[in-house]
Amino acid sequence: MSGPARPRETVASAGETVASAGETPASAAAGSTHERAVSDAAGARRRRLVIAAGAAALAGVGALAWIGLGGGRRAPRPAPAVGFVTLEGRRVDLADLRGQVVLVNFWATSCAICVAEMPALARLHERLAPRGLATVAVAMPYDRPDFVLHYARRNPLPFPIALDPMGELSGALGPVRGTPTLLVIDRGGTIVHTVEGAFDMAKLGAFLERTLAS
């Protein structure tokens, strides 16, 4: 005994529904493949953006970690008995500068911040030298002497540039953990201030003026 026949209108309705969607098995598979491709591409873009953002964040943290040291201080300490040998071959002993305020700038030709700040440092020296400021720029041990000499010839400075090929100065006056690093030595021969990383020229000038006046 056969069961009740399936109503024709139901089958027809289902057929109409499929037809209205315009979707055959082949077109449905193609659409699904396209959707997966779009989704995969969007996911790949999101992953690239996340990786790029992470790298930028890490780079920013690294830069801030160094530049943030710009206001840092170290405990005052007696300056060691060291001497500077300039590009011209002249030796300047730190002891010979006793009675002056000495600004020692550790820098490198490969340091963009150092090169950018050098003109302002030169102007600061010219303004305060009549009041007893002596400035020495010390190239880092890894800086090639011919690069330093080339820079000095193209950018005449009002203070001497010294070489430190063996790292004796950066070791004795440091530790120098990066460039630029500035040291201020008072008239009595004490290192009273250390500035690491990018520095505020106005604040440095004000500090030097107070040290010169003391």
3-state secondary structure of 93: strand
The pair phi, psi for residue 80, each rounded to 5°, is -70, 165
Would you give the DSSP letter of residue 140?
A: -
The CATH classification of domain 73-213, taken from the options 3.40.30.10, 3.40.50.1970, 3.40.640.10, 2.40.40.20: 3.40.30.10
CB 109 within 8 A of CB 147: yes
| pLDDT for the residue 36 | 58
Nearest to 159 by CA among 181, 139, 138, 136: 136
| pLDDT for the residue 101 | 98
| pLDDT for the residue 32 | 53
Residue 190: strand pairing partners? 78
Q: Sketch the domain layout of the chain as residue ranges.
A: 8-67, 73-213
| pLDDT for the residue 73 | 58
Q: What is the pTM of this model?
A: 0.67
Q: How many whole angstroms from its chain centre is CA 53? A: 17
Could you say which residues of the chain have pLDDT below 50? 1-30, 38, 49-71
